[in-house]
Structure 1
Amino acid sequence: MALLPLLLLPVLLLVAAADAFPASCLNATCGGHAIHYPFWLNDATSDCGYPGLGLVCENNDTLILPVKLHRYRVGRIDYPTHTLVVSDDDVADESEFGCPRLHVNLTIDYASYWLQLTQFDSNVTFLYGCNKNLSSSSVVELRGCPESSTGKTSFMLLDDVATGTEAYECEAVVVATVLEEHKKELGGGGSSPPAPENASLFGGPGGVVWAGFELKYSAHSQQCDRCERSGGWCGYRHNQTNGGDMMFTCFCNSGPTSHRCDFSGQFSGLELRGLVRLP
């Protein structure tokens, strides 16, 4: 009779661990991307990650990051370095590489937002439907734009800061973020005017935008690192004693904590990692 409780103990531990972790957070994927804290899929509970970092999975193969009501395609998430590569979803296929039609500038509130540009990023400026031509070693003329049928010209400026663009009488001006290395390839290092037909190995101006840029995230990364090293799963929960605000939570086999798991008298973090997939 004494053996029965001992036989049931592993089962009870597994059940307790499963209850401690939100089931919808485990092994979430989209298009080959593993979705872990601080990100979460928008069809799962927000306990899985940082508030506001819900990603959209379309057709099970395209991962979208919404930023201020605009869409950016996720090309890569690198959890060890806390970085991801995204590209403006306005440029969705190669047919738009000659004349990428962008609509919004990337805007990030650096004082409070979780995303930051990295030192590998740079800016380019698109000028659409201009009445006056631009002549400079840092200018790439766009080909195949709708405005060309009306005698107007569109351009891509490789300068980081484009000022005085109003002098060219353009219908629209949009600043886009790209990787510096790709911009240099597009402009040939800035030594001579680039040739539009083979301006970049990425397929011209639109290819450079399509290749994306890098963002760094810092949503409680150190707290999450400590939690995962102790065998836990990072997430967020509503703080019922503070107006329902979201607070960082480390989900453990014994239940959620605010810091890290305590394995005193419990099974090891190695066993916990067999229950969940961690980055």
Structure 2
Amino acid sequence: MLQNNVLVLVFLPLLATAPHAQPVDESCAPAACGSLTIKYPFWLRGRQPAYCGHPTFAVTCDGATPPSLNDSYLRVLAIHYGNSSVVAFHANLVDNPICVATRFNTSSTLALSLLAVSRANSELYFCKNCSRTPPTGSVAVNCTGLRGSSEWFLSLNRMYDPRGTARWPDEMVGCQYSVVPVMPGSELNTARDYAGLVRSGFLLEWTVPGDCAACDASGGQCRYDAGAMAFRCFCPGGRLQLATCGE
């Protein structure tokens, strides 16, 4: 029976913030979290007011591990503000041995809104119980000894497609499999490559309301207005404008 466990992003409840309860005159200057620079739409939970970023993009920085995004399983490795993308890895996939991780159901574990898995990613397939020859270029994984285990294969596809089963290769028919996105340009030569691939993460792209760059250019600071659930530009004199300080 064909199975498909694809990474799915669903919605996290917004942080509860009372309308207009926050002092909007406090600075939201870029902050450091290890090697990361945190600025709108991201904000540092526990170190910055919630209005400094969008509720979805709260970063928890404890200094011991890569920071988590909105207290999810996602660990942030890099943030690229120029093209609105994040490099992150899934902690459960990294922390578990390969033969356990391949059975991990990623479809019910991530809860983030306003983010999408980038089409630029490659796809890492986990295949088992194939009734025909495994996909060309597959790498065998020995899971002998684990309860309910069978021979697994790893296979790499060069382009991530969010349509899922609309475009599986014909070679995958007759196999049970799950899919995890990995970074563009990833290489799979042996089963030992698995750990490096999942730890290197994958690309997520964000889309948030408002033009923060235009607000900054007008002399303002980017804010999230919890009362209106919308972007605002905080301008000199304490004014909250809809878009820029030039209005």
- Distance in 2 separating the partners of 1:163 and 1:56: 42
Task: Give the drift of 1:261.
Answer: 1.9
Question: In the TM superposition, what is the alpha-carbon distance from 1:59 to its structure 2 partner?
Answer: 3.2
From the CA coordinates, give the structure whose radius of gyration is larger: 1
Structure 2 residue runs without a partner (length 5+) = 1-22, 161-167
Aligned-pair CA distance for 1:167: 4.3
| Aligned AA (1:214) | L
TM-score by length of 2: 0.69
Give the secondary structure class of the aligned counterpart of 2:101. Answer: coil
Aligned alpha-carbon RMSD (Å): 3.6
Cα gap change, 1:55/1:106 in structure 2, threshold over 3 Å: closer, same or farther? farther
Aligned twin of 2:6? none
2:215 counterpart of 1:227: yes
Q: Does 1:257 align with 2:241?
A: yes
Q: Which residue of 2 aligns with 1:26?
A: 29
Q: Pairwise mapping of residues 12-23 of structure 1 onto structure 2 (< 5 A)?
A: 20-23=24-27
User: Structure 1, residues 97-134: CA drift from partner, whole Å, max 9, x if none?
Assistant: x6571523368x9xx94223334213222246x48785
Question: 1:105 aligned to 2:103?
Answer: no
Is 1:46 the counterpart of 2:42? The answer is no
Q: Which residue number in structure 1 is paired with residue 184 of structure 2?
A: 180
2:20 aligned partner: none
Distance in 2, Cα, partners of 1:92 & 1:75: 13
Q: Deviations over 1:201-256 (max 9, x none)?
A: xx5122112211112212135x21110111221111133xxxxx412111122112
Q: 1:232 to 1:89 in 2, by over 3 A?
A: same
More helix per residue: 1 or 2? 1
The alpha-carbon deviation at position 151 of structure 1 amounts to: 6.5
In the other structure, the counterpart of 2:74 is 72
Indicate the structure whose relative CO is greater, using CA pairs within 8 Å and at least 6 residues apart.
2
Report the alpha carbon displacement of residue 45 of structure 1 after superposing the two structures with TM. 2.7
Structure 1: how far apart are the matches of 2:206 and 2:220?
20
Q: How many residues align?
A: 212
Query: 2:200 aligns to what?
Result: 211
Cα distance in structure 2, aligned partners of 1:257 and 1:133: 62
Take 2:26 and 2:154, find their aligned partners in 1: how far apart are those partners? 47
Conservation of the 8 A alpha-carbon contact between 2:66 and 2:77:
no
SS at match of 1:52: helix
Give the whole-Å Cα distance in 2 for the aligned partners of 1:149 and 1:132. 21
Separation of aligned partners in 2, 1:100 and 1:178? 18
Give 2:41's aligned amino acid. P
Note the C-alpha offset of 1:262.
4.4
User: TM-score, normalised to structure 1's length?
Assistant: 0.62
Distance apart, 1:70 and its partner CA: 4.5
Could you report, residue by residue, the CA deviation over 1:68-95 in whole angstroms, capped at 9, with x for unpaired residues? Answer: x8511111101122111111112436x9
Give % identity.
25
Q: Would you say 1:158 and 2:162 are equivalent positions?
A: no
Q: Judging changes above 3 Å, is the alpha-carbon distance between structure 1 residues 206 and 60 closer, same or farther for their aligned structure 2 residues?
A: closer
The amino acid of 2:194's aligned partner reads P
Give, in whole Å, the separation in 1 of the partners of 2:43 and 2:224. 11
Residues 151 and 229 of structure 1: is their aligned pair in 2 closer, same or farther, counting only changes over 3 Å? closer
